[in-house]
Chain A
């Protein structure tokens, strides 16, 4: 061995610092720390709170015992489950047929129908409830359709939530039905199988994971939605409104925590089932599958066209009614149109500032959320250190999906309002609204990024290390540009949800940070339904503009990158 070699071999006493590894180690650790503080810690606090009485003394399971011995609260639990099951059946049925029409028929205007189905995503869930009152309330335009039944209660809740969850279920169903393998249908046709049998033996089993997944998603969305039952629930109590009443009406925070934890239970259950089912679904799809292309069939296409038209009329009708409600001078006595209800300063001390607050909050949520979630997913997927911490980071990132917004909001109140908490400074500020909203919608965004990053070549990091280029530069030059359409999509997703969300924010807004969606809730609460509709319409208009902007930007992005993107990802 040469002398040079000997010297070199003898000197690694100070192992040189690997800056790339240091950055990713720090990144993973910061990510874990952030999620521990903003996800795990508040949830632990709400759990501890449920074991205390209102003056903070530890009482064990007393609160739970009290809950389960109170007939009223048990009734709410029963009501919630009943409503959730009903909505699940109705929404899944409708969405399945609608998705079937979009993916498996040659019905005309499929693109248009698909766009119409997305309307509810653009509006706060309260909008549908207010519109339903104008349609089916005691002075409703078409109340006769309910044959004397009151819209205030289960009927209204079911209708309102079905409207609100429809696009969410539809997207899952469309995905499930799109992944059909044409070869199976060709084989069935070759054997002369009847259409009905093909449907039950190929179509339904092929989409069954989608159906199960959709069912659980609807169930959870329904049982945790607060806006619709608050506005149209009448005396029909559900768990979500119970939390609000326990906390706001009776100032019983520990009981609120108890109901919150109970609400957490179905959410976690459905979340777990959904995860398992999704894994199977991925395994089920074979890479060699040939996409199914529907053939025209006059009778079937016409029938589905009629069906989709009816659903679309309902969806557009709800939105149209809300627009109408916001413009009518004094329903039902003075039907002349006016823009007076848009003068929010006249009915609400926060006036238009709630709207600008919402814009600001949504913008911050989109900006901070997209960056943080992308980095988090990047470290989970691409960092080459701390496998345990990365696993933990991924696990923490999955939690928010199982936490209803109300529970999250309440947990934030408990955790951040404690004066001894050094972070209590963010309580009552825009920051806590942004943080809670980012956390609330973290999981879906995280999963999208992880999936996208997984599809990138796993050796990019190795290649750039060999070329002496730090990993972060490669992330910026390669990963980010490739994921750009998705990044934009996630930013818009966060923006829209921030505009429409009520549940977490309702406990967290403060003097100068009231949001438009909260203003809708408050104005409806004091009976000012016309201005409430007007504010909801402002939210819809914003959402639509942002969505259109996204379409334009994405299109130009894809056009510019079409040279290297071989597949169209629009």
Chain B
């Protein structure tokens, strides 16, 4: 019965195929189609560096938020135009690994990376590139104007003084939002985490769809405090926005930007070339330009405007647990906070 729609699609489609036998698919001889959730402004640099090292290939980025890229890949299944997923949350890649969509591949030189940051199978189905870490962006200008104290802990954010001033990504659509929720659960246990979120919810102005939006909103003062990730805050601060990046002391959730080759890849050679390049030292140094934690040990240097000692605050993240419980957590989250009729 499960193939009803497939069979239906085939029958109807076949009938029409004779009339419309046009395959407009793009020939992918030298192009590698790469799905990514990496922040858009970084992509140009990565593409140029890779193409300089691999002149036979050209990268075509398909960039969207973590949720969208994940959904797209799951929807497209075997029909996806993507050759490789690059810079997507490990939690998402785990879901695809579970469905058998990923091709195990050990990139040349993968042994130089820290084994904790990749799939445990050999060869690994996915390989981590760098970690993005939860942080809080605070607009210092607006905080002062509104008399808001600088928060230092997650718990501080439940202080009624912040009521309506906090913006956080919706975990259902944003990878960053989910890593916050999953980290609080891993720090405090589920029950306490829900209790915390109940209280935090009282202070939330809106839940945004994307993970970087809260920090940008904080930067413009639309909502003075944005729960986001460190890189975005640091970048905005670098651009001169009145933003301070705070790393709450209880611990920081994080996820791995990782890559994985798709079983359905049309250009597997190209995908492997990008995979090989992505574990090189050169690539890892580039990762470090914006992120403090990268897959190759001993490479990372401190990143400007990042909170100090951010690495120490990263929790011991259990990706498998997160991937397994994602659906359940999101359902509960939706039930509790998803349907408030009006913003606070």
Contact = CB atoms under 8 A, between A and B. Distances in A.
A and B: direct contact (Cβ < 8 Å)?
yes
Interface of A: 30, 33-34, 36-37, 41, 44-45, 48-49, 52, 55-58, 70-73, 75-76, 79, 133, 137-139, 150, 152-154, 230, 234-237, 245, 247-251, 253, 330-333, 345-350, 413-415, 417-431, 507, 510-512, 522, 525-528
A144 to B, nearest CB: 16
Contacts of A72: 334-335, 338-339
B161 to A, nearest CB: 16
Contact of B10 (A56, A422, A428): A422
Contacts of B23: 425-426
Given A45-B9, A235-B207, A421-B10, A330 B77 contact: no
13 contacts: A48-B4, A49-B5, A72-B338, A235-B204, A235-B337, A247-B71, A331-B220, A414-B9, A415-B13, A431-B22, A525-B65, A525-B213, A526-B40
A57 B9 contact: no
Contact of A138 (B2, B79, B221): B221
B33 interface: yes
A422 B25 CA distance: 13
A424 B13 contact: yes
Given A230-B209, A234-B206, A58 B4 contact: yes
B153 interface: no
Contacts of A137: 222
Nearest to A422: B17
B308 interface: no
Contact of B209 (A425, A427, A525, A528): A525
Given A72-B335, A75-B339, A429-B25, A330 B12 contact: no
A245 B210 contact: no
Nearest to A247: B71
Contact of B78 (A237, A331, A419): A419
Contacts of A414: 5, 9
Contacts of B62: 510-511
B79 A511 contact: no
B327 interface: yes
Given A332-B220, A349-B43, A526-B212, A48 B79 contact: no
A291 B14 CA distance: 55
Contacts of B14: 422
Given A331-B220, A423-B17, A527 B342 contact: no
Interface in B46-87: 60-65, 67-68, 70-71, 74-79, 81
B12 A347 contact: no
A30 B19 contact: yes
B6 A420 contact: yes
A253 B72 CA distance: 11
A250 B330 contact: yes
A510 B208 CA distance: 24
A138 B164 CA distance: 10
B30 to A, nearest CB: 14
A527 B236 CA distance: 12
Nearest to B36: A349
A426 B40 contact: no
Given A248-B173, A526-B216, 20 more contacts: A49-B5, A57-B2, A58-B2, A58-B4, A72-B335, A75-B341, A150-B164, A152-B206, A230-B209, A235-B207, A245-B172, A250-B327, A253-B74, A415-B9, A417-B79, A424-B13, A424-B79, A427-B79, A526-B39, A527-B210
Contact of A235 (B39, B67, B213, B340): B340
A4 to B, nearest CB: 45
A237 B217 CA distance: 20
By Cβ-Cβ distance, the 5 closest A-B pairs, closest first, are A527-B216, A58-B1, A72-B339, A422-B17, A527-B213
B12 A236 contact: no
Contacts of B76: 417, 427-428
B15 interface: yes
B215 interface: yes
A73 B172 CA distance: 14
- In this complex, the member of A36, A235, A510 whose beta carbon has the largest number of chain B beta carbons within 10 angstroms is A235
- In this complex, the member of B19, B141, B242 whose beta carbon has the largest number of chain A beta carbons within 10 angstroms is B19
B10 A418 contact: yes
B335 A33 contact: no
A52 B2 contact: yes
Given A138-B222, A527-B212, A245 B342 contact: no
Contacts, number: 232
B12 A526 contact: no
A348 B39 CA distance: 9
A217 to B, nearest CB: 26
A424 B80 CA distance: 10
A419 B10 CA distance: 9
B116 interface: no
A331 B221 CA distance: 9
B203 to A, nearest CB: 13
A37 B343 contact: no
Contact of B341 (A37, A79, A421): A79
B205 interface: yes
B72 to A, nearest CB: 8
Interface string B166-177: 000010110000
B121 interface: no
Interface string B149-179: 0000000000000001000001011000000
B60 A249 contact: no
A236 B77 contact: no
A73 B163 CA distance: 26
A347 B213 contact: no
Contacts of A44: 8
B241 interface: yes
B309 interface: no
A41 B2 contact: no
Contacts of A507: 75
B220 A431 contact: no
- In this complex, the member of A71, A249, A414 whose beta carbon has the largest number of chain B beta carbons within 10 angstroms is A249
A333 B44 CA distance: 28
Given A72-B339, A150-B343, A421 B9 contact: yes
Contacts of A57: 1-2
A37 B13 contact: yes
A497 B169 CA distance: 31
Interface in B248-288: none
A234 B342 CA distance: 8
Contact of A45 (B8, B33, B79): B8
A235 B206 contact: yes
Interface string B14-41: 1111011111111000000100000111
A34 B39 CA distance: 41
A104 to B, nearest CB: 39
Contact of A420 (B9, B44, B95, B216): B9
Nearest to A252: B327
Contacts of B9: 41, 45, 414-415, 418, 420-421
B61 A418 contact: no
A34 B213 CA distance: 42
A562 to B, nearest CB: 41
Contacts of B77: 417, 419
B223 interface: yes
A141 B340 CA distance: 27
A57 B3 CA distance: 8
